[in-house]
Amino acid sequence: MENLALIDSFSEFKDDKLIDRVTLMAILEDVFRNALKKKYGSDDNFDIIINPDKGDLEIWRNRVVVADGEVEDPNEEISLSAARKIEPDFEIGEDVSEEVKLIDLGRRSILALRQNLISKIHEHDNTNIYKHFKELEGEIYTAEVHHIRHRAVILLDDDGNEIILPKDKQIPSDFFRKGDNVRGIIESVELKGNKPTILMSRASPLFLEKLFEQEIPEVFDGLITVKKVVRIPGEKAKVAVDSYDDRIDPVGACVGMKGSRIHGIVRELGNENIDVINYTNNLNLFITRALSPAKVTSIKINEETKRAEVILKPEEVSKAIGRGGHNIRLAGQLTGYEIDVLREGAEEDVELREFSDEIEDWIIAEFHKIGLDTAKSVLEHDINDLVKRTDLEEETIREVISILKEEFEE
C-alpha cells in the first residue's frame, strides 16, 4: 500500500497537467530507475511493474544466491543464509526476487523522486506545447490580453499558454486593454531552455492572407487563390488574387457588394486601406493594375534591371505615388519591379534623385511624399504652397528651386 499511496499522490499531477495516465506511468518508471541507480549503482537487475489502470507500481530486485562469505556485488548477489530468510528452501545458484519498498530508498530519495517527477512532467508539458504551436505556425490564433508591457503585450489562451505580441508585430493603431481578445498569426515558436516562446504577429502580410481565407468562402474553398500580399501595417495593403474558374470574378468576390465582405478585414486591421487586384502573367497589365487608382498612359519595362518606367498624365502622378509614397512602394513590392513615374509630355524633365549630389536625400524624400518626384513638378508649385505641404523651411525650398532652375537655363 505504501507504493500505491505514493503513486496516487503523484497522480495528482495528471489532473493538473492533463497528462494521460500511461504517459505519467512511463515518466514514473524513468524517475524510479534513476533513483535506483543512485541507491544501488545499477537498475539492470530491477523489474518495475506498473499497472496504468490502477495506478499501482511494484519494484522487484533480482539477485543470485551465492555461498555465505562469497558475496562480491551485494546488489546482484545474496548470501544463502540471507536468501533462506526470505524462503527457507533456496539453494545456491537460484534467482531471488525481492520486493523493494519505497521506504527502503530513504526519505531524502523519496523527496528527490517527487522533485524529479515534477521536472519531468514540466519538460513533457513544454515539449507538447512546443509541438502543438509549431504545427500552428502561420495560422490565425486568438488569445486574451493578460498583461500590457512597454515592448509587448502578453496574451493567454484558454489553456493558460503564454503568447507574446511584440510592439513591432502590432498594427500602429492597435490599442489593447486587459481581457481583450486578440487575433493574429502564430509567427514563430522557439524552445528557450525547456520553455517554449510563442510569438504572434498582426503586422505580417500572412495575417492578411489568412484573414482572406477565414472571411471569404471562395478563398477558403480554393476557388480563388491569393497570389501575393504586401502591406504597410495600418496604412495600406495590396492583395493580388486569381481564379482558375472564368465564371468567378475574384476581385468582386473578395470585396463583396458595397465592400461587405472585406469590411470586417479592414476593421480588424485598424482601417487599413486594402486594394484587391486581379493577378495576371501580363507584366505590363499587372503593373498597371498595381498602380491603381492611377491610370497609366504607357509602360517601358527593363527585365534585366527589374525596373519599369511608367508614364502618366500630370493629374495621375500623385495618385500613383499615394500618400507618403505608399502606393508606388507597395506596387513595386507586389510586382517585383522598381517603378519610375514620369509625367506625360515631360520627356525633358529630370527626376529629383538626379540632383542627389546637390540636394540631400531627406529633402528629396519630402517632395516625394507629396507626389513631386521631378524638377518641373516642383517648379510648377508656388513656394508658399510647398512650405504648407512639406516639413521643409522656406529657405530650404528656395535653395532647391534655385538648383532646379539652373538645370533648365540655357
pLDDT for the residue numbered 52: 56
pLDDT, position 8: 53
CATH T-level assignment (fold) for domain 204-279: GMP Synthetase; Chain A, domain 3 (3.30.300)
Domain ranges within the chain, ordered by starting residue: 2-127, 136-203, 204-279
Q: What is the pLDDT of residue 219?
A: 94
Interhelix angle for 2-10 vs 107-134, to 10°? 30
> What integer pLDDT is reported at residue 176 of this predicted model?
94
320: left (phi over 0), alpha (psi -120 to 50) or beta: alpha
CATH of 136-203, one of 3.30.70.790, 2.40.50.140, 3.40.30.10, 3.40.1280.10: 2.40.50.140
For the chain, counts of helices (H) and of strands (E): 17, 15
The residue with cell 505580441 is: 165
Contact 250, 241 (CB under 8 A): yes
Residue 201 burial (CB count, 10 A): 20
Does the pTM surpass 0.75? The reply is no
Cα 381 versus chain centre, distance? 47
Locate 53 and state its grid cell: 489502470
Helix (H) / strand (E) element for 349: namely none
What is the spatial distance between Cα 224 and Cα 218, in angstroms, rounded to a whole number?
6
pLDDT in tens, the chain (410 residues): 344 445 555 555 544 455 666 667 777 778 788 888 888 888 888 888 876 555 567 888 899 988 988 888 888 888 988 888 888 888 888 888 888 877 667 667 667 767 777 777 777 777 788 888 999 999 999 999 999 999 999 999 998 899 999 999 999 999 999 999 999 999 999 887 778 899 999 999 999 999 999 999 999 999 999 999 999 999 999 999 999 888 999 999 999 888 889 999 999 999 999 999 999 999 999 999 999 899 999 999 998 999 998 988 878 888 888 888 899 999 999 999 998 888 776 556 778 887 887 889 899 888 888 878 788 888 888 888 888 888 899 999 999 998 888 877 64
The amino acid sitting at 272 is E
CB-side exposure of 157: number of CA atoms within 13 Å?
A: 18
- The fold of the 2-127 domain, in CATH, is N Utilization Substance Protein A; Chain:P; domain 4 (3.30.1480)
